[in-house]
Structure 1
Amino acid sequence: MLDHLDRSRTDVVLIVDDVPDNLSLLHDALDEAGYTVLVATHGEAALLRASQAVPDVILLDAIMPGMDGFEVARRLKAQSETSHIPIVFMTGLTETEHVVAAFDAGGVDYVVKPLRPREVLARIQAHVQSARRAHQARNALDAFGHASLTVRVSDGRVSWQTPLARQLLQRYFDTPEAVAPVELIDWLQHAVPAARAAVEAAERGAAPPSPAPTWMVNQGARRLSFALHEPTGDDEWLLVMRETSDQAAMDALSQEFKLTAREGEVLYWVVRGKTNRDIGDILGSSPATVKKQLEHIFAKLGVETRTAAAGLAMSRVAQLKMR
């Protein structure tokens, strides 16, 4: 068992390589640098060690007998308990397709054989520090009950998420657990470059700090918003999710004007400036049905237009809030 590891004093590195000389070289260099070093000589052992110890970083040989490093990385990234661990590939293959395969499998970096211990140590230190900052940020968000997740922008892979974030994603989207929704990926690929540019401009004093970019999706009376929090790697960002509900306002409108629950929903979205087609899409009904419901609402409010209905509703709700 590996639950005796003292993480308060040292970072844990898992080396995966089937060549004893490589293991010995790296073990000695990392041990001398103050790391706790674990080793595995094949893919199955690597998966077991990683799930038991949850190391801070993994040095992974790309080419091994049986399960190669690319498959090991894919399996680690598919498991929630190990998906956040930075993976640095070790390979003698420098062709572009192999480098791309390493990153596609979930790697954050690679070193080329024959290995140079000082270079490996520098890479390890950089990724451990980045992982530590991300871990601290996630712990702080968890402590306050926020739903948060980290997403790789290039392909939308979710490397870490809180239990609440997992529940919300499952409620709003029909996507695999380890992959962000397509709509969110599309937004990230546009929002991240703009966010980086805004941060750089603020650092130069060329512009004031900008609020965090946000993206929102509606589901009936509920809304789920995503805000960019901070980068946790070259291609990875931490997102904070927040769910809000319009149900209280809809209930207030229904009660105040003696409307049915559905009429209260329709009136609420009229106040929010939605068209009949928009409201139909939100509520899962046709524009013709929304139009008929609006006729009933106008009659109960004693108005003839949606503008008058929206104005009356807003003024009445404002009065209710002041009571």
Structure 2
Amino acid sequence: MNAPDVVLIVDDVPDNLSVLHDALDEAGYTVLVATHGEQALQRAAQAQPDIILLDALMPGMDGFEVARRLKADAQTAAIPVVFMTGLTETEHLVAALAAGGVDYVTKPLKPAEVLARMQVHLGTARRARSQAQQALQARSALDAFGYASMTVRVADGRILWQTALARRLLLAYGDSPGDAGSATVGETLRHWMARQLDGVLQGLTEPPRWVLAAPQPVAGSDRRLVLHLHPPMEEGQGGELLVVMREESGSAAAQLLREAFALTAKEAEVLFWVAQGKINRDIADIVGSSPATVKKHLERIHAKLGVETRTAAAALALGRLRQGG
């Protein structure tokens, strides 16, 4: 059996508190009360209620300021706030919503109307929490399998959320120091993300890739950081992207291809660089051979993979690397 939802009522008028308290208690809610703004902030932080019914006009700190402070605090920002107000002028209702309210009810209060409005917003909040929990589980699973992830606001490159592994990798590759909320991705990466945004949100079959080389590579090491862009896990975030990254080694990947397709060491190395989009001349420079020799290796690779084109060979290689990476 689920625990009852917790409602915090904030009002400086005892009669209003009494009417709402009795109606909500009878409906099965756990009810907390506060009679002024400071007390409301304390109760909200301590109890983490599921919803807050907030009087707009109170002595001292009014409801608008209480709502602004609740929304500015990460601990209470997600709690839905329904304003209770006798003010019906448009400017006051707009002020209530601008301060962070999700809805308002007018005085004199009608308990049945308040309950109906509450149920709508409690349902919305439950769905949001469920989606957030699913997203957290998905991100944790990525970390557990050696992938790192972060959510980036494309407009300014701000990192809104990142796993510990993502932060370590970005620091190691010199792209983004700092903590989530204050750090930004590098300017080049941000511009690339902006160019890819429309395609990603339209659901490209293959997420765009970005490769970062270590700024000071260790001698003999070919490790690199590969980033993939995806739409965000939560809905309604059109200007944000989920970045999934993993550190890879070219030699390890080549060994995987060698074993998967029964290639020689040199053929596997050539196939790996073909899969990275390199042309024969570039591959020749990388592996220390001539373009003609690379072409011969590629002909043998095509025969062993049963394909006729470079594109098909690259697709098979990338598919195998994703399965075993």
**Same fold, TM-score > 0.5, yes or no:** yes
Q: How many Å apart are 1:43 and its aligned residue?
A: 1.6
For residues 1-323 of structure 1, the aligned pairs below 5 Å read: 8-144=2-138, 145=140, 177=181, 218=210, 220=212, 221-223=225-227, 225-229=229-233, 231=235, 241=242, 243-245=244-246, 247-249=248-250, 252=253, 297=285, 300-303=288-291, 318=317
Report the count of equivalent residues: 263
Identity %: 44
In the TM superposition, what is the alpha-carbon distance from 1:37 to its structure 2 partner? 0.6
The question of whether the paired residues in 2 share the 8 Å contact of 1:298 and 1:309 is answered with no
1:177-225 CA distance string (max 9 Å, x none): 49999x8xx99x989xx99xxxxxxxxxxxxxxx699987957224264
With normalisation by structure 1, the TM-score equals 0.57
Q: Which amino acid aligns with 1:244?
A: M
How far does residue 121 in structure 1 lie from its aligned partner after superposition? 0.5
Secondary structure in structure 1 of the residue aligned to 2:112: helix
Contact conserved, 1:87 with 1:108, CA < 8 A, in 2?
yes
Q: Which amino acid aligns with 2:249?
A: A
How far apart are residue 86 of structure 1 and its match?
1.1
* 2:43 aligned counterpart, secondary structure: helix
Measured after TM superposition, the shift of residue 29 of structure 1 is 1.4
TM-score where L is the length of structure 2: 0.57
The answer (yes or no) to whether the contact 1:12–1:36 under 8 Å persists in 2 is yes
CA distance in 2 between counterparts of 1:219 and 1:78 reads 36
Counterpart contact for 2:55–2:83, Cα < 8 Å: yes
Determine if contact 1:165/1:241 at 8 Å carries over to the other structure. no
Q: Which sections of structure 2, spanning at least 5 residues, go unmatched?
A: 143-148, 153-158, 213-224, 256-264, 302-309
Say whether the 8 Å CA contact 1:42–1:64 is kept in structure 2.
yes
Q: Cα gap change, 1:165/1:245 in structure 2, threshold over 3 Å: closer, same or farther?
A: closer
C-alpha spacing 1:216/1:122, structure 2 compared with 1 (3 Å): farther
Q: Distance in 2 between matches of 1:272 and 1:26?
A: 65
Q: Which residues of structure 1 form unaligned runs of 5+?
A: 1-6, 152-157, 196-210, 258-263, 275-293
Bigger Rg, which one: 2
1-structure distance, mates of 2:73, 2:285:
51
